[in-house]
Structure 1
Amino acid sequence: MPDVLGDISPKQELSIRESTAQVCVWEGAVRSSKTIAQILRFLLAVPGARQGRIVILGRTRESIYRNIFEPMMDPELYGDIAPHVKYTLGAPTAKILGRVVHVIGANDKQAEDKIRGMTVALVLVDEITVIPEGAFKMMLSRLTAPNAQLFGSTNPDSPGHWLKRDYLDRLDVLPNWRSWHFTLDDNIALSDEIKANLRANYTGLWYRRFILGEWVAAEGAIFDMFDPQLGNGNVIRWEDLPEMRELIAVGLDYGTTNPTAAMLLGVSAEHDSLGRPTPRLYFIDEYRHDGKHAEQKLTDAELGREFMRWLNENHLPASTSTRLIPRYTILDPSAASFGVELRKTHGVSTTPADNDVLYGIRTLASLLAEKMLLVTDRCKGFIQEAPGYSWDPKATLLGEDKPIKVADHSLDAGRYAITTTENIWRQYIRLAA
């Protein structure tokens, strides 16, 4: 195994040398180098992991590939180790230093069943706070091989999150646990300019969690970084849309007594002054029917016809590109009847939305903060809803992050489109992690 400790920061080296406990957690700010240290510690442990399986656990196999395998296979980060890491996106197993490694996405309903039968010698857990509590605790119960270890990393969440409440706050009575807190300045590979830009992007709750690395309660506006100012903020004129590489999806939030809203998501084909690709995501257009304001409640058949008329329009300015068609229509998972109507009458197959609310909010917040998601002035419902979208103070008192379910229909439609197609747009868009 090559000697790579000289290329890492003092905090990374400290955590690697001290990580001898059964469960070791790297937590703190985004881009703070905690995951790089976690991966290196995992790689150092692979050759000695015996009498049990080696596992990497994360929210999805796609997120594991992005957060773990892409850096692990980068020779600039891991030198001579990188060529000995073999993984194909979506595959159930990888080969690392000659060992078979099981790759498990924890949002899979069968994840706990897969874990239940295992004897585990070594596990890496990516982003602990966004995987189900049951899957994590099941994995803890499978650390039954001699000297088995779990290495996990995460950004902060609510102080009432089960990881903080049940484990990190009780380290003094958990002798088999160790944890290290990382800040942005612990990453010696980032320039002062990059760090300043990251600090400038975030405000409020997200600044305290993502930049300061604090476990703080959610309160106030959820998207306090959203700037509706035309041209200088997150909103642009529809006529000013750049060329689109692809229309990824339409996210659809279905309502009977509430409004039905749809948001069209595209990824641009923009380039900087040197000709380098600089793609961004855009909410290009919006469909909205509010039966209360229209004084007309539509049947599924009527709503389907109206939605299809909108969907079949050309949603791009004539100056930007040829006509493009959205790859997916992503539907509110509770709207089965409307999905049947679209399929049987109009031949449109829908994809059930990923409805992980908190993960979707977090992803939207990061995209908006880093100006990697812009909204055209045609998306009036989204622009109206975003500034008033707030955390539920009653849930906060119970230690939970939960939004108030009021005036969120275009926001939900947009969240469905973003979260469900993440494995597509992440090929183009990079966010702090």
Structure 2
Amino acid sequence: MRLPKGVDLPLSRKQLRSIGRATARINLWHGSVRSGKTVASLLAFVIAVAAAGPSGLILICGRSLQTIERNVFEPLADPALFGPLARHIHHTRGATTATILGRTVHLIGASDVRAEGRLRGLTAQLAYVDEATLVPESFWTQLLARLSTPGARLIATTNPDSPRHWLKVGYLDRAQELDLRHWHFKLADNPSLSRAYVDALSAEYVGLWRRRMIDGAWVVAEGAVFDMWDEQQHVVDTLPPMVRYWCAADYGTTNPFAALVLGLGADDRLYVTSEWRHDSKAAHRQMTDAQYSEAVRAWLARQQVEPEWTFIDPSAASFQTQLWADGHPGVTRADNEVGAGIRSVSSALAAGLLRVHKSCTGLLDEIPGYSWDPAASAKGEDKPIKINDHSVDALRYAVHSTAHEWRHLITAAYPCVRS
């Protein structure tokens, strides 16, 4: 396999073989994180760009422009990875086009089914899809229909998902019937990773995500979402001194409203220190945004807590506006990516990093029964059952929205964790 001039990566035999054989109509790299599949697929794509003819568009697609920038252009523009080739990659952050080896490449975000309309009417000869399981099936189907020039190719990479996901059932499982080649990568397929890094990465994923992201397995989500939850281990009677505070709220009018305070203790652990809830059905009284704002601010004042940030349910725009109007500091939208949020909470619980104070009865009631929806699993989707999840949602907002602040503690403070 001959690589582009100047590229001198320590590629494994498996990576080189996949790059050289990526000549099918559909070429898919799948498997664990940091297994080398992304580098291999990007090199195959760049080689395909260099060989592309004059007719037909060249596309890069992903869940959003931000993920395309992070997962595609940051590696491509890194001289440490791609050497002199990086000088021929040009992209302005936020732009919907880029230049690769002098060719214009169009970038398309596909966060929902409406994205399929962005493909209508175009003719493409080459497409790269980042995180293929996260784009809608209708978008993928339309993209294949638009790859209509002679020799057109799709190159894609993804982490595993449910074994019933449309990409697994409709394509990987039918590879022999289709013009499709695929390569499955595990951590062991990336020889450049140190043992210490592999151990650290393994500690960050637990349960379902451990099997998918580390083992590279297509496995179904079933049973309890937080199957590592242990009341004896995770519930505390007393709290250490806190050095930082954050707050999060899941908004509800007919459903319960739940707010939590998440603290970082002097012992480098996370603690849910307190909880405030209002159930309009139980109280026989609904509250307005102004009343919720006043109640939350009074609850925080009684604890003498001023959170650095208050993460609000993204759908509760009116409540966010009310908090801003009332001068509450640090109001922002929570990161509401459900799967990623559950993964952050799971990792913190499994590492012994997250504790809940015994006074948070609403949260303590909800966590054990928070389960995967079997009907969604049967369709290849990972969704928890939407019942009795209001404090759990607030927990997810707080923990995942602050993950960049505490994730290093999992391996720094608990290097021996194996889950």
Are 2:241 and 1:253 aligned? Answer: no
Q: 2: CA distance between counterparts of 1:72 and 1:79?
A: 9
Q: Equivalent residue for 1:123?
A: 127
Which of 309, 312, 324 in structure 1 is aligned with 2:298?
309
Please identify, of 377-386 and 41-50, the stretch whose mean Cα deviation from structure 2 is larger: 377-386
Counterpart in the other structure of 1:297: 285
Secondary structure of residue in 1 paired with 2:122 = coil
* Structure 2 partner of 1:55: 59
Counterpart for residue 207 of structure 2: 204
Secondary structure of residue in 2 paired with 1:57: strand
State the secondary structure of the residue aligned to 1:159.
Answer: coil
Q: Which residue of 2 aligns with 1:361?
A: 342
Q: Secondary structure at the match of 1:7?
A: coil
Q: Is the 8 A contact 1:265 1:283 kept in 2?
A: yes
Deviates most, 294-303 or 344-353: 344-353
Structure 2 residue aligned with 1:151: 155
Q: Is the contact between residue 236 and residue 374 of structure 1 (CA under 8 Å) also seen in structure 2?
A: no
> 2: CA distance between counterparts of 1:354 and 1:15?
36
Give the partner amino acid of 1:405: K
Q: State the number of aligned residues.
A: 404
Q: CA shift at 1:392, angstroms? A: 2.5
Q: 1:115 to 1:254 in 2, by over 3 A?
A: same
Q: Contact 2:113 / 2:139 at 8 angstroms: preserved in 1?
A: no
The offset of 1:343, in angstroms, is 6.4
Residue 120 and residue 260 in structure 1: after superposition, are their counterparts in 2 closer, same or farther (change >3 A)? same
Distance 2:235 2:84 in 1: 43
Q: TM-score, normalised by structure 2?
A: 0.79
Partners of 1:352 and 1:122 in 2: how far apart?
37
Report the CA distance between 1:142 and its aligned residue: 1.6
**CA offset digits 1:156-202 (Å, max 9, x no partner):** 11111110111111011102x11111111001111223323434444
Aligned counterpart, 2:10? 7
Higher alpha-carbon deviation: 129-138 or 8-17: 129-138
- Structure 1's unaligned 5+ residue stretches are 271-279, 317-322
Contact kept, 8 Å, 1:237 with 1:376, in 2: the verdict is no
Tell me if structure 2 keeps the 8 A contact 1:342–1:349.
Answer: no
Indicate conservation of the 8 Å contact 2:63/2:131, yes or no.
yes
Q: Which residue of 169, 189, 192 corresponds with 1:189?
A: 192
- Identity among equivalent positions (%) equals 44
Question: Residues 354, 192 of structure 1: CA spacing in aligned structure 2 closer, same or farther, 3 A cutoff?
Answer: closer
Within 2, Cα distance between the matches of 1:203 and 1:313?
A: 37
Within 5 A, what are the aligned runs for 1:164-313? 164-175=168-179, 177-225=180-228, 239-242=240-243, 250-263=247-260, 287-291=275-279, 295=283, 297-300=285-288, 301-310=290-299
Q: Report the TM-score when normalising by structure 1.
A: 0.77
User: What is the alpha-carbon root mean square deviation over aligned residues?
Assistant: 4.0
Contact 1:217 1:396 in 2 (8 A): yes
Q: How far apart, CA to CA, are the structure 1 residues paired with 2:97 and 2:261?
A: 35
Deviation (angstroms), 1:337: 6.0
The match for 1:389 is 370
Q: How does 1:83-162 map to 2 (within 5 A)?
A: 83-107=87-111, 111-162=115-166
- Matches of 1:10 and 1:417 in 2, distance apart? 43
For residues 197 and 359 of structure 2, what CA distance do their matches in structure 1 show? 31
The CA deviation string for residues 55-107 of structure 1, in whole angstroms up to 9 with x for no partner, is 22111222222222222222221111123223343332223223332222211
Letter in 2 for 1:160: R
* Cα distance change of structure 1 residues 384 and 426 upon mapping to structure 2, 3 Å threshold: same
Tell me how far apart the structure 2 counterparts of residues 200 and 145 of structure 1 sit (CA, whole Å): 46
* Deviation of 1:224 (Å): 2.9
Residue by residue over 1:111-135, the C-alpha shift from the partner in whole angstroms, topping out at 9 and shown as x without a partner, is 3232223322222211111222222
Deviates more, 1:220-229 or 1:201-210: 220-229
In structure 1, C-alpha distance between the alignment counterparts of 2:127 and 2:109, rounded to whole Å: 13
Report the Cα offset of residue 345 of structure 1: 6.8
Alpha-carbon spacing, 1:120–1:349, altered in 2? closer, same or farther (3 Å): farther
Distance of aligned partners of 1:29 and 1:329 in 2 relative to their CA distance in 1, 3 Å threshold? closer
Q: Give distance in 2, aligned partners of 1:184 and 1:379.
A: 42
**Is the Cα contact below 8 Å between 2:36 and 2:185 reproduced in 1?**
yes
> Please, which runs of 5 or more residues in structure 2 have no aligned partner?
412-419
Distance in 1 between residues matched to 2:385 and 2:363, nearest whole Å: 16
